[in-house]
Amino acid sequence: MDHCLAKIRTKHEWHCQKAMLRCFASCLYLYCSASLVAAEAENQIYQIISDPAEMLGPDSCTKCHENEMQAWHATPHFTTFDSLHRKAEAKAIADRLGLGSVKRNDTCVNCHYTQQQVDERIRVVAGVSCESCHGAARDWIALHNDYGGPNATKESETPEHRQERIETSVQAGMNNPTNLYLIARQCLACHTTPNEALVNVGDHAAGSKEFELVSWSQGMVRHNFLRTGGAANAQSAPEQLRVMYVVGVLADLEASLRATAQATSKAPFGIAAAQRAAGLKRKLYDISQRVSDPHIDDALHAALSVPLKLNHNAELTAAADSVGKAAYNFAAQTDGSSLAAIDPLLPAPAQYKTK
């Protein structure tokens, strides 16, 4: 079906394909139990795919998300496209690794740029852009903006169709923010710098040490225009911020456990990863003492069950898998209304990252 979608050319074929997709989504929704859908999603939550052939580029988002694009233009995620390769520090890191151009090697490009296959060639087309966070869009862009028919709108969409649309979009590779973990894992896949040679040989910083999901997402990179129909860049509700804080800790812990598992020597990369994981264990323990939640308990049990030492790759990876699963389920099943006890842990708006 995805292959057919990529080949559609005429308007008639397009509408037929959308009808088929809606039919498929309806069948899935009616005949699959919630547990089966969750199990299928679980199989995908660890897969972070950025295939240039599946990338459409940020211009494909502009028509429907103009306000979001303007907000993006004011962030380092956007400006890095024109600035990073000119920085002496970036050039020095690349030189130490023997990589040449910052814009022409996967080590740098994977986290600092967006690649797209254009005319059979892979090109860097933007900095950290829409698909860096929401996933390569070729297979899901038509699904996520189908509100139920050619004349349907976001306002007229039924709750049942919205649920179908979200589920099928996620299955097609979209990191939909209805589950905050799907976004958080993207952030931490880069902000923990999970590359041993990059840190130990290239002398790159071992992650963004001050990264915390609420403060880093609610400042200059916030782009919550959908909630207000484009009228304003909305603040997130307290309940959502609570979920975001916990999910951020869990996703950070997962990524740090994975980095620790990858370490092959007692050097800056492995030491920093283990120290980061240890600090996040303490944060998660603090959260667990303030609220009662089975997913938090599952993640904490998994994290505490393994030593943060070299030569424990299998155990650390299994623990990371368990933390990731707990984070996904927590984000899917928790609305934040029962988490008021963690409010003292949340950063104040004055602490939000603005530059």
Tell me: do 158 and 131 sit in the same domain.
no
Q: For residue 38, is pLDDT > 80? A: no
Rounded CA Rg of the chain: 21
Tell me: do 155 and 68 sit in the same domain.
no
Residue 36 lies in a domain: no
pTM: 0.86
Tell me: do 194 and 325 sit in the same domain.
yes
Convert the pLDDT of each residue in 99-156 to its tens digit. 989 999 999 999 999 999 988 899 999 999 999 999 999 999 999 999 999 899 989 9
Tell me: do 216 and 324 sit in the same domain.
yes
Residue 38 lies in a domain: no
Q: Work out the pLDDT band at 306, boundaries 50, 70, 90.
A: very high
DSSP letter for each residue of 255-306: HHHHHHHH--SSSHHHHHHHHHHHHHHHHHHHHHHH---HHHHHHHHHHHTS
Tell me: do 340 and 242 sit in the same domain.
yes
Distance CA 325, CA 319 (A): 10
Handedness of CA 50, 52, 56, 58 (dihedral sign): positive
Residue 13 lies in a domain: yes
Mean of the pLDDT values across residues 294-302? Answer: 99
Number of separate domains in the chain: 3
What per-residue confidence (pLDDT) applies to 52? 94
Residue 39 lies in a domain: no
Convert the pLDDT of each residue in 147-187 to its tens digit. 999 899 989 999 999 999 999 999 999 999 999 999 999 99
Question: Can you give the residue range of the structural domain that contains 90?
Answer: 50-135
Residue 232 lies in a domain: yes
Tell me: do 260 and 161 sit in the same domain.
no
Tell me: do 282 and 200 sit in the same domain.
yes
Tell me: do 88 and 180 sit in the same domain.
no
Tell me: do 129 and 144 sit in the same domain.
no
What per-residue confidence (pLDDT) applies to 221? 97
Residue 42 lies in a domain: no
Tell me: do 22 and 155 sit in the same domain.
yes
Tell me: do 128 and 156 sit in the same domain.
no
